[in-house]
Structure 1
Amino acid sequence: MLGVMASVALTSACDSGGSADPSPSKPPSGMSSPSAISDGASGKAVLDHAFVGMEPLGSGSGRLQPHLGNTLPATPENVLSVTFAFTCTGKGKVVFAFTVNGRNVPTGARTTTCDGSIFQRSIEVSRTGLISYEAQVTGSESGSFAYSYYTEKAQLP
């Protein structure tokens, strides 16, 4: 097996798939400050900058809403794990739930604050199939969000 990173596009709907490091990370140095990220398109640019050179599997962006979600319809056959990345603004909090092929992915804390930081979760995939996330936004909904799915590990042919 060989680890291969690939980036995923952003969409305004949310569904899930994932498990892994539950802690958000700050944008890499040189990236826009949280106050400069004012819309979903800017959030997508933040993720694109943070995951340079990664092939996207899917992505989305939009205005914050009480409930968000999206489903990545299928992962390529050789993909062993996917990185889910999410960023948002507006100072609200987002709680995530992930599923792979309809099964909940048990993980620790899955909450992030909408301060422009990047939340990442690694999701193991045992076979090709659906990865979904659902998110509930609490507090301020005045901000925007962006997310992407990226290939994290792929098996060589």
Structure 2
Amino acid sequence: MTRTGARRNAAALCLVAAAALTGACDPSEPAGSSSPTPRTSQSSSSAVSDGKAAQAILDQAFVGRQELGSGSGALQSQLGNTLPAPDKNVLSVTFAFTCTGNGKVSFKLAVNGKNVSSAAHASTCDRSVFQQSVEVPDSGPITFEADVTGSENGGFAYAYYTEKKQVP
């Protein structure tokens, strides 16, 4: 083999290796991109993605319902939120929560500072939706607190929806 032929073979081999490592041979991906690799620790971009995936679950489950407040993000050992007092004409509110990642979540709900004992619940983060109706007899905040155990590699989303309104 000539030197020129050997150089061409070496250059071709380097090109093939580079293409294999970067995924440049896949016409569906731009040159230089690669498939994401699984990570054991959660980066902020994947945490946002997990939260958005969980939010999409609630969006599909409660189409057309008036949302009073919501949030989403990466699972963490303790979660919580307080919805300020809903409008005077709101008689009850549905609290909805979902999470991914196979952790376990224990909930407590309070209305106007008083625990709603029937709303205490434990759930697995398997994309199912936990929902609880709470009466709002007086104008006051609605609070949820959640403790996460097990895996925190996942996302969560919650929302408060108007359930019943007073008819004028």
TM class by shorter-chain length?
Answer: 0.7 to 0.9
With CA pairs under 8 Å and 6+ residues apart, which has the higher RCO, 1 or 2? 1
Distance 1:152 1:96 in 2: 20
User: Alignment RMSD, CA only?
Assistant: 1.1
Which amino acid is 2:55 matched to?
K
* Partner Cα separation in structure 2 for residue 99 and residue 51 of structure 1: 22
5+ residue gaps, structure 1: 1-37
Q: 2:118 aligns to what SS in structure 1?
A: coil
1:94 match: 105
Q: Is the 8 A contact 2:108 2:119 kept in 1?
A: no
Paired with 2:125 and 2:110, the residues of 1 have a C-alpha distance of 22
Letter of the 1:141 partner, please give it. E
Matches within 5 A, 1:8-157: 39-107=50-118, 110-157=121-168
Q: Which amino acid aligns with 1:146?
A: A
Pair 48,103 (structure 1): closer, same or farther in 2 beyond 3 Å: same
Q: Whose Rg is larger?
A: 2
Query: Kindly, what percent of the aligned residue pairs are identical?
Result: 64
Instruction: Using the TM superposition, give the Cα deviation of residue 82 of structure 1 relative to its aligned residue in structure 2, in angstroms.
Output: 0.4
Unaligned runs of 5+ in 2: 1-48
Which one has a larger percent helix, Structure 1 or Structure 2? 2
Deviation at 1:108, TM superposition (A): 6.1
SS at match of 1:149: strand
Alpha-carbon distance between aligned partners in 2 of 1:108 and 1:129, rounded to the nearest angstrom: 17
Deviations 1:119-139 (A, max 9, x none): 111111102210000000011
TM-score by length of 1: 0.74
